[in-house]
Amino acid sequence: MTSTSSKATYVIGWAAIVALASSLLFALVLSPPEVSMGDSVRLLYLHLPTIAVSYLGYGITFLGSVIYLRNQSVFWDLLAGAAAEIGVLFTAFVLITGSIWGKPTWGTYWEWDPRLTATTVMFIMYLGYLAIRRMDLPQEVRSRRAAVIGIIAIANLIIVRYSVQWWRGLHQGQTLGVDTQLDGLMLFSLFLSVVAFLFLGAWLLIHRFRVAWLERQVEDMRLARALNERRGEAGDATLGGAVS
Amino acid sequence: MVNLSGAISLIGGFPALAGVDLTVADGEIVVLRGPNGAGKSTLLRLCAGLAHLNGGTGTILGHDLSSREQRRRIRRETGLLAHQTFLYDELTVEDNLIFWARANRADPSTVEPILDRLDLGGRLRTVKISALSAGQRRRASVAVMVCRRPKLWLLDEPHAGLDQTGRDFIDDIVRHAVRFGATVIIASHDHERVSNLATRTVHLVGGMVTGAEDGREEGQNVS
Amino acid sequence: MNHWAFVITGYAVVFVGIAVYTGWVLARGRSLTDEVPEERRRFLD
Amino acid sequence: MFRDAWLMASKDLRIEWATRVGMGQILPFGGLVLILFGLAISPDLAVAGSDGRSLLAQAAPGLFWITVLLASLLALGRSFAVESADGNLDALKMAGLDPAGIFLGKSAAVAIQLLALQVVLGLGAFVLYGPPLTDLVLLLVVVILATLGITAAGTVYAAVASGLRVRDTMVPLLVLPVVAPVLLAATKATEAAVFGPLENGWSWAMLLGVFALLYAGVGMLAFGPIMEES
């Protein structure tokens, strides 16, 4: 079978499917509505896991960038890029579920809540990182610049997060927080959904990394062909002079 | 001086150099010849430590091209006269020269005689680069190169766009540089002129060296 | 107070999004593996 | 390093003096933005509970800093356009200038131009929007610290985008989210400086200082890897 699958991804993939299915069962059916939030608490079982996956993605991007700058490893460069893409995708989910959750809770889709605001800025920041990875520059130049930004981005993330928190903190208490009572079944649903999404994230990351790896291989093959053609040009010229 | 073996260099995913073998000894004046797109400019940029060595091995002035640290030293010790002027259009000839002299840790007072020698003294000194003719700009670029005192001179079409006196200037300067121990590589289409200078001509086609001739003797391939 | 509409929308958006992305990644992986010969397909993991 | 920084900064300022792009184009642009804000926000709208100040006066600190950010994007773009026009980045590398020195020099030159710009734009904002002024010292400190932060962070990201054909669109995408905290802190601190009370203003100014220091350090470390091979 020609695909990016392997034994490992089958195992992780099936684990993700099973975990997601049972987590849906718990999140939507078995767990009770919360006292103050009502059924909208169920969005939390979606919101929190997506946050976990996106932060893990950015963490891997940071790690990969550090390692790439140390030893120019193609593996870590590509992994950093793949993880950032998944981080951005899941940050989009965080924003969407956050604002959908906000409508019944706050009455609006958007609230200048510190986390929501900081997450949006962070989202755009990592879109910039992905744009750097697509820059029209020689490969090693692009990778090095992306790695530098992948590292700085974490510092930015912290600054943005705390400055926004401070900014809103002066006006009002935190609005989005799990300060409500979650009973055993709810906590279990939350735990299960986080586990399920981590499996899903890992599975996506492996596949996305392999796609990036294959893209690099295709690029290398194209280069090898171009090199041969170029040498052909030189060969034709040499035939006339009968040398080498 | 220059020692390249199977050197590959990519420009935007295109193998501009597809495996160049080239050895240049101390004090040589090597002329690179070849059609447009043969990789002459990239070869010069590679020797200057600017283009990336993507395959093969190379040492320039005894420094390894594949080491980032040593490439920095190569850049300091070579001089490149390229199609780009390497000058700030918005500044005057004098300001440019003084800035680049300082940037290269050369004595700014050496700028004066160089300007005079290149006919850029007097009125032209206070003219902005953008107001100069192509030939005058080229002279200003040469002036910067002279004040850097590089050990390896890399000249990309140095005679292009110059008048007769300008061409003679370039030749004089090249001969002068060699007399003071420099090595020169020139990429040029102006065969007649450079063959008077060259100690060796190297042919470059399709990003590879396809032949070489010694000195001014024609048709003797020794690759 | 009925929040189910919001809950369903939220879950739908996320899971459709994941499905689309997964589909894209898998399809791209398929077409690329066809292009790349066996020996270049070691993924280093 | 400081020698190279001085060399770069004086060269950039000399170019500005010769071409007057900053004073002749970026400054009028900033003034125009200030006026456009005035047109967009009706000057007759008043804010409740703010001593009868107009909405424009109340929003003046934020509008001023948005204007400065937009102007800084132009100044940063200009700063690197000068280097890439004739291959001068290559020439700088061949000269062996210290990357940290290049970073400090280029950001210092942009900072000086922006500060000069802000003197005029600030006066313009006071005249056009009519906010009061409580503490000039805090205001000046904020202006200086915020400018250093914007230029340090901006120079890093403008360098990342240098050598690109899409540089002009890349720089805003990269720089604006990063300097969002500066906008926030500078606006809050400026509000304190013009309206009072002042106690929070100084802590926001502290944050600006930390940001500027952090990015000065980041830039000095990162400029080598960014400039390499470009």
**Dihedral, A219, A221, A225, A226 alpha carbons, nearest 10:** 20
Choice between B187 and A242, residue whose per-residue pLDDT is larger? B187
Question: Over the stretch B75-121, which tens digit does the pLDDT of each residue have?
Answer: 999 999 998 999 999 999 999 999 999 999 888 888 888 888 888 88
What pLDDT is stored for residue B216 in this prediction? 52
Chain D contact partners (≥3 CB pairs within 8 A): A, B
> Closest chain D residue to B82 measured between Cα atoms?
D87
- pLDDT, tens only, A29-51: 888 777 777 788 888 889 999 99
Q: Is A38 helix (H, G, I), strand (E, B) or coil?
A: strand
> Closest Cα to residue A82, out of A63, A98, A101, A107?
A63
pLDDT at A180: 58
Asked if D200 is an interface residue toward chain B (Cβ–Cβ < 8 A), one would say: no
Pick from A101-110, B188-197, D30-39: least confident: B188-197
Contacts of residue D150, Cβ cutoff 8 Å, sequence gap at least 6: D68, D69, D72, D114, D179, D182
Minimum-distance CB partner of B223 among A138, A222, A243? A243
Q: What residues of chain A lie within 8 A of the CB of B205, using their CB? A: 233-234, 236-238
SS (H, E, C) chain B: CEEEEEEEEEECCEEEEEEEEEEECCCCEEEEECCCCCCHHHHHHHHCCCCCCCEEEEEECCEECCCHHHHHHHHHHEEEECCCCCCCCCCEHHHHHHHHHHHCCCCHHHHHHHHHHCCCCHHHHHCEHHHCCHHHHHHHHHHHHHHHCCCEEEEECCCCCCCHHHHHHHHHHHHHHHHCCCEEEEECCCHHHHHHHCCEEEEEECCEEEEEEECCCCCCCCC
pTM to 2 decimal places: 0.89
Q: Give the mean pLDDT of A131-147.
A: 89
List CB contacts (< 8 A) between A233 and chain B.
205-207
> Closest Cα of chain B to A223: distance in Å?
7
Average pLDDT over residues D17-45: 91
Which of the four pLDDT bands, split at 50, 70 and 90, describes residue A242?
A: very low
Strand partners, A240: none
Say which of D7, D14, D86 has its CB closest to residue B86: D86
Chains A and D touch (3+ CB pairs under 8 A): yes
> What interhelical angle do D55-84 and D167-178 show, nearest 10?
130
State whether residue A33 is helix, strand or coil.
coil
List the chains bordering chain C where 3 or more Cβ pairs fall under 8 Å: A
Q: Which residues of A touch C22 (CB under 8 A)?
A: 204, 207
Helix/strand/coil for C5 = helix
Does A192 reach chain D within 8 Å, measured CB to CB? no
- DSSP bridge pairs for B203: B33, B211
Residue A211 has pLDDT above 70, yes or no: yes
DSSP assignment of D24-53 equals IIIHHHHHHHHHHHHHHS-TT-B-TTSTT-
SS3 assignment for D132-158: CCCCHHHHHHHHHHHHHHHHHHHHHHH
Q: Answer whether B208 touches A (CB < 8 Å).
A: yes
- To the nearest whole Å, the CA of D159 is away from the closest chain A CA by 9
- Subunits with 3+ Cβ pairs within 8 Å of B are A, D
Give the least confident one: A173-177, D128-132, D157-161: A173-177
Q: Looking at CA atoms only, how far is residue A6 from chain C in angstroms?
A: 10
Strand B29-33 with B183-187, pairing: parallel
pLDDT recorded at residue A202: 95
CA angle, A172 then A176 then A180, to 5°: 110
The whole-angstrom separation of Cα D149 and Cα D136 is 20
Cβ contacts (< 8 Å) between B7 and chain A: which residues? Answer: none
Whether residues D174 and A155 touch (CB distance < 8 A) is answered with no
Which residues on A lie below 8 Å from C1 (Cβ)? 38, 104
Task: Check the CA dihedral B167-B171-B174-B176 and report its sign.
Answer: negative
Instruction: Look at the block and give the residue holding tokens 């300022």.
Output: D13
B96 min Cα distance to partner chain D (Å):
9
Residue in the structure block whose two tokens are 């204007």? D67
Looking at chain A, which residue has its C-alpha nearest residue B38? A234
Please report residues of B whose CB lies closer than 8 A to that of D14: 91, 95
Give the pLDDT confidence of D207-219 residue by residue, as tens digits: 999 999 999 999 9
Q: pLDDT band for B11, please (50, 70, 90 cuts).
A: confident
Residue in the structure block whose two tokens are 């356009």: D81
Residue B99: list chain D partners with CB under 8 A. 7, 11
Q: Residue D185's closest chain A neighbor by CA?
A: A163
First-residue to last-residue Cα distance in chain D: 21
DSSP A26: I
pLDDT at A176 over 70: no
Q: Do chains A and C touch (3 or more CB pairs under 8 A)?
A: yes
Q: Tell me if residue D54 falls in helix, strand or coil.
A: strand
CA B209 to CA B6: how far, in whole Å?
10
What tens digit of pLDDT does each residue of D71-112 get? 999 999 999 999 988 889 899 999 989 999 999 999 999 999
Whether D188 has a pLDDT exceeding 50, the answer reads yes
Cα–Cα distance for residue pair C18/A204, rounded to 1 Å: 9
The H or E element spanning position A178 is none
Q: Does C42 touch chain A (CB under 8 A)?
A: no
Q: Say if CB B90 and CB B128 are below 8 A apart.
A: yes
Question: Region A150-157: what's the mean pLDDT?
Answer: 92
Residues of chain A contacting C40 with CB distance shorter than 8 Å: 217, 220-221
Question: Which residue from D188, D218, D230 is facing A167, i.e. has the nearest CB?
Answer: D188
Q: Please answer yes or no on whether A243 and B211 come within 8 Å at the CB atom.
A: yes
Residues in chain C, how many? Answer: 45
First to last CA, chain B: 18
Chain C: closest CA distance from residue A165 (Å): 26
**Confidence label for D222 from pLDDT (cuts 50, 70 and 90):** very high
pLDDT in tens, B116-126: 888 888 888 88
Reported as a pLDDT band with limits 50, 70 and 90, residue A238 is low
CB-based contact B13 A226, cutoff 8 Å: yes
Q: Do D180 and A155 touch (CB under 8 A)?
A: no
Q: Do chains D and C touch (3 or more CB pairs under 8 A)?
A: no
Note the pLDDT of residue A243: 41
Contact A2 C6 (CB under 8 A): no
| C25 vs A: CB within 8 A | yes
User: Residues of D13-22 as b/e, b for ≥16 C-beta within 10 angstroms?
Assistant: bbbbebbebb
Question: How large is the greatest C-alpha to C-alpha distance in chain A, in angstroms?
Answer: 90
* D180 part of contact set with chain B, CB < 8 Å: no
First-to-final CA distance of chain A? 45
In angstroms, what CA-CA distances link B1 with B24, B50, B167? 6, 17, 26
- Whether residue A138 is preceded by a cis peptide bond, meaning omega within 30 degrees of 0, is no
At residue A237, the pLDDT reads 67
Instruction: State whether residue A34 is helix, strand or coil.
Output: strand
- Cα–Cα distance between A138 and A148 in angstroms, integer? 16
